[in-house]
Amino acid sequence: MNFTKKYFPLFLLLVYVLLFIVLGINPYDRDVWYVENGPIVAIVIFLVVSWYRGLRFSNLSYLLMSVLLYMHTIGGHFTFERVPFEWFNTFFGFERNMYDRIAHFSVGFYAYPFAEYLLTRKLVAKKWIAYAMPLFFIMALAALYEMFEWWYAASFGGEAGAAFLGSQGDIWDAQKDILMDTLGAIFSLILFLCVQIVGTSKK
C-alpha cells in the first residue's frame, strides 16, 4: 500500500506522457495542437520540478490535477468540439459537444491543491482565506484564458482560430466556460473541506 501511494504520482505522469506521445501523432490541426498543449506541458514541467524540489501534494491532489491534463491532451488532438463524446451528449440530451464544458469544470480542480498548499504551509491566518483565495484565483485565471482564446481567434482567424475558440455557435460560450471553471473550483473546495473534516475526526 505504501509503495502504491509513493509511486502513484509517477504512474499519473507516465499515463500523461503516453497520452501526449500517442495523441501527438497526426492531430486534427497541428497549430491547434501546439497552442492547446503548450499550457499543459508547462503545468507538467512545473509539477515535476516542484516534486524534485520538495514541494509535494497529496495523491488526491495529483489525481484531480491529472484530469485536466488528460482531457486537455485529448482535446488538443481532436479539437474540443470534435472529441468523440456522443454517448455523454446523447445521454443528457445535449445538442452541442459538451466535452469542453467538462474540461473547464476540471480546471476548477486546481483549487484543491492550492488550498492544500496554503493550509499545510500555514500561509494564511484564517482558514476561510485558504478557501477563498483558490476560488478567486480560478475565476481570474478562467477570465484570462477566455481573453487569450479571444486574442488567438481574432489574431489568427481561419479554421484554427475557430477550432481553438470552440464556441460551437454559442454567443455565451466564454461566460459558460468561466462558470464551469468556478463550479469545478467550488466542488473541489467542498471535497477538500470534507477531507479535512474526516482527517480531523480520525485524530
Q: Stretch 142-149: mean pLDDT, rounded?
A: 90
Mean pLDDT of all residues in 81-95? 91
At 166, the pLDDT band (50, 70, 90 cuts) reads low
* 40-72: pLDDT as tens digits: 999 999 999 999 999 999 999 999 999 999 999
- As a whole number, mean pLDDT of residues 94-121 equals 95
Q: Is pLDDT of 2 > 70?
A: no
The predicted pLDDT at position 1 comes to: 53
**HSE toward the beta carbon, residue 141, CA cutoff 13 A:** 19
CB 68 within 8 Å of CB 109: yes
Q: What is the mean pLDDT of residues 105-119?
A: 97
